[in-house]
Amino acid sequence: MATSSGPQAGPARVLSTVDAAAIGAAAMLGAGVFSVFAPAALGAGAWLPVAIVIAGAVAYCNAISSARLAARHPENGGTYVYGRERLGEMWGYLAGWAFVVGKVASCAAIALTLAAYVLPGWETPVAVAVVVMLAALNLRGVYRSTLVIKILLVAVLAVLVTVFVAMVLSGRLAAVAEVDGMGPWPGSFGVLGSAGMIFFAFAGYARIATLGGEVRDPRTTIPRAITLALVGVSLLYLAIGTGLLIVLGRERLTTSTAPMVDAVRVAGFPMLVPFVVAAAVLACAGALLSLLLGVSRTVAAMASDGHLPRRLGIAHTRFGVPYRAEIAVAAVVVVLVVVGDLAEMIAFSAFGVLVYYAIANASALRLGPHEDRPPLIAPVGGLAGCVVLATSLPLPVVAIGTAVLGAGAGAWWLLHRTPSS
């Protein structure tokens, strides 16, 4: 039985730098690595490795800013809280809205990725069925949604290493000349737009920033863990992305819906296909379970704060989950799966998340010297990087994304324009 004889104990500080880095890597190594390199190669071509480095650098700046903000504002909510406290209520709302918009698109992209690996040619109906089934699982409570997430890191790392070894053994990586050198410069928008898409595969790094209460010496451990996780994942992405580009060639890579499967087949190891598919399913299912859960909780929190219809915040009397928010999020994801394709959903997700982190970096700039403000290069570089990458995405995505975020901002203004009595 809990007692009240003393202050309530917080989480034990037991995580080391390696532990925290592993948690961050597990959050990043999800569905994105199985799908993002095909649409990214379309814009960057043989300059795909450069786009990966740019995306990783922007992610690093964002993570440093988020870590410092999380230390000052430990409550749940992320940039929804940081923007509200540092920039004003409207900016907090806009961050939350951008998060919901971007992550709903992420859910659609992940569902389409899973479907492409399981049943090529039937992506839409399979993706719809997956969203419905996993949303139903989440409706029964969080505790039923954690098993796949726990084995995500081991499964994804194992298959990525296997795919890379298969590509090396094929001998094609030695014939780098087949890529025709670096090829012509695809233009700044080509490389930067691809970097914006690849940012989709880095989503999850901010998980490290929330571990301040659980790590030893968080002031030094968190930055080191962020560096270790992002450098490790970036190197892995460089190896996989470059390998896919060389083994498949640009033309085949850009048209592939399941590039990992195509790579092991071209490399001469078709017996690995079932293992690649199984790992892709586990990664996508785990990521989708987590995202549906996280987005619905954000929607419910915004509803409780009066920023969205309050009915969305009502919890189920038996399972304790915000079931109306869960159903609403799943319904929107299904619509996006039906009307959009994988590349569009990746780009749209990246746009929303980049706006979210732009607000995080702007919030970090408002930290004072006495508040452990990050080195100026982190928030300035992160803010500039997010804006540049977001505006370098395909023009229709930028236009629609801006309109959706603008509509959300307009709705907030209408709700709050009543003068105080």
Write the DSSP string, 190-252. HHHHHHHHHHHHHTTGGGGGGGTTTBSSHHHHHHHHHHHHHHHHHHHHHHHHHHHHHHHHHHH
Residue 272 in this model has a pLDDT that exceeds 70: yes
- Angle (nearest 5°) at CA 168 between 173 and 249: 40
Which pLDDT belongs to residue 10? 45
Q: How far is CA 265 from the centre of its chain?
A: 28
**Average pLDDT score over residue span 194-220:** 79
Are 207 and 222 spatial neighbours (Cβ–Cβ below 8 Å)? no
Are 364 and 374 spatial neighbours (Cβ–Cβ below 8 Å)? yes
Residue 324 in this model has a pLDDT that exceeds 80: yes
Element (H, E) at 353: helix 342-364
Which pLDDT belongs to residue 103? 92
**Average pLDDT score over residue span 388-397:** 94
CB contact set of 67 (below 8 Å; sequence gap of 6+) = 208, 209, 212, 222, 223, 226, 374
Which pLDDT belongs to residue 213? 64
What per-residue string of b and e applies to 287-317 under the rule 16 or more CB within 10 Å gives b? bbbbbbbbbbbbbbbbbebebbeeebbeeee
Which pLDDT belongs to residue 41? 92
Element (H, E) at 20: helix 17-28
Q: What is the CA radius of gyration of the chain?
A: 21
Protein fold of 17-412 = Amino acid/polyamine transporter I (1.20.1740)
What six digits make up the tokens of 6? Answer: 């003393």
Q: What is the widest separation between alpha-carbon atoms in the chain?
A: 75
Q: Give the residues across from 15 on adjacent strands.
A: 215
Q: How confident is the model at residue 171 (pLDDT cuts 50, 70, 90)?
A: low
What six digits make up the tokens of 370? Answer: 């006495």
Residue 31 in this model has a pLDDT that exceeds 50: yes
Residue 361 in this model has a pLDDT that exceeds 70: yes
Q: How confident is the model at residue 46 (pLDDT cuts 50, 70, 90)?
A: confident
Q: How confident is the model at residue 98 (pLDDT cuts 50, 70, 90)?
A: very high
* Domain coordinates in residue numbering, the chain: 17-412
The average confidence (pLDDT) of the chain is 83
Which pLDDT belongs to residue 143? 46
Q: Give the residues across from 122 on adjacent strands.
A: none
pTM here is 0.87
**Average pLDDT score over residue span 268-274:** 93
More confident: 180 or 413: 413
Which pLDDT belongs to residue 412? 85
More confident: 309 or 99: 99
| Residue (of 127, 156, 169, 126) closest to 260 by Cα position | 156
Residue 75 in this model has a pLDDT that exceeds 80: no
Whole-angstrom distance, CA of residue 323 vs CA of residue 328: 8
Tell me the percentage of the chain whose pLDDT exceeds 90.
Answer: 43
